[in-house]
Amino acid sequence: MTNEDLDKAFEEAVARVNAHKEPFPADTLLKLYAYYKKATNDYGKPRSREALINAFKTNALFQAKNITETEAKEAYIDLVNKYFLYRE
């Protein structure tokens, strides 16, 4: 897969997640959050009003700290595809 193909597939996966109306399981949501942040090089601090949510987000980012931008995009796409496999 070329970088352009990967970027397109990533953007499509992000759009699919954003269009989904039902809540995601918390563990899936945290993985999506961490992969998205790594994939987009957004290293800002979590900005939830709830300290506990920020702690979970920080932990998710910590767990994904050793993957590359490309690996994060691939993991995000894979997670989205697996999540929606039996839901549509």
How much is the pTM? 0.91
- R_g of the chain, CA atoms, integer Å: 13
Convert the pLDDT of each residue in 31-86 to its tens digit.
999 999 999 998 777 888 889 988 999 999 999 999 999 999 999 999 999 999 97
For each of the domains in the chain, give its residue range(s) and CATH number, in order of start. Answer: 3-84 (1.20.80.10)
Give the other-Cβ count within 10 Å of 84's Cβ. Answer: 13
Give the other-Cβ count within 10 Å of 8's Cβ. Answer: 12
Interior/surface letters 13-39, b for 16+ CB within 10 angstroms, e for the rest? bbeebeeeeeeeeeeeebbbbbbbbbb
